[in-house]
Amino acid sequence: MTEASAVPPRLDDAVDAAIVREISLDARATLSHLSERVGLSVSAVQSRLRRLEARGIVQGYRPILDAEALGRPLAAFVEITPLDPAQPDNAPELLAHLTAIEACHSIAGDSAYMLFVRVPTPRDLESLIRDIRAAAQVNTRTTVVLQTFFEARPIEPAAFPA
């Protein structure tokens, strides 16, 4: 089976969905809290959570940080398009070293990828765009974020209703 045709792991049942829903709302929830919320023993929740992790459904836990407090208040979306349509499609690899790029998405449309970046100042954004263009040999189109109303929202499992 090729990677492109590989079937992604799925939730087994509504209890798995409930566990995922709860840790999506609060990744620091204790096993005891999860146990109360889903109606299983602590050991059963721990076993299911380990299985969800082993299967790659739960891929990790991370804090939600205040970008402004960390000195990176300026966020922007940068669309990139290859200068030469025949060039290799390896922009993610060429840009991976640029740590100001928080996310890289392959997209449909005129552009090839959409980057989400965070930098301290407009001058830093200008420098980053220059670095992106040079590293990946691409044209860019940048949209600066003025205000974010929500992001990193919990992901509600689609397979099993609440």
DSSP 158: S
**Alpha carbon separation from 65 to 4, 69, 97, 124, 143 (Å, rounded):** 33, 8, 21, 20, 22
Question: What is the reported pLDDT for 4?
Answer: 53
DSSP 152: S
Please write the tens of the pLDDT for every residue from 101-127. Answer: 999 999 999 999 999 999 999 999 999
Question: What is the reported pLDDT for 3?
Answer: 54
pTM metric for this prediction: 0.83
* SS3 at position 76: strand
Segments in the chain below pLDDT 50 = 1-2
Question: What is the reported pLDDT for 2?
Answer: 47
Angstrom distance (rounded) from CA 129 to CA 115: 11
Q: Domains in the chain, ordered, with CATH?
A: 14-55 (1.10.10.10), 68-144 (3.30.70.920)
Neighbouring C-beta atoms of residue 136, cutoff 10 Å? 23
Question: What is the reported pLDDT for 156?
Answer: 81
* SS3 at position 19: helix
How many Å is the Cα radius of gyration of the chain? 20
Angstrom distance (rounded) from CA 128 to CA 101: 9
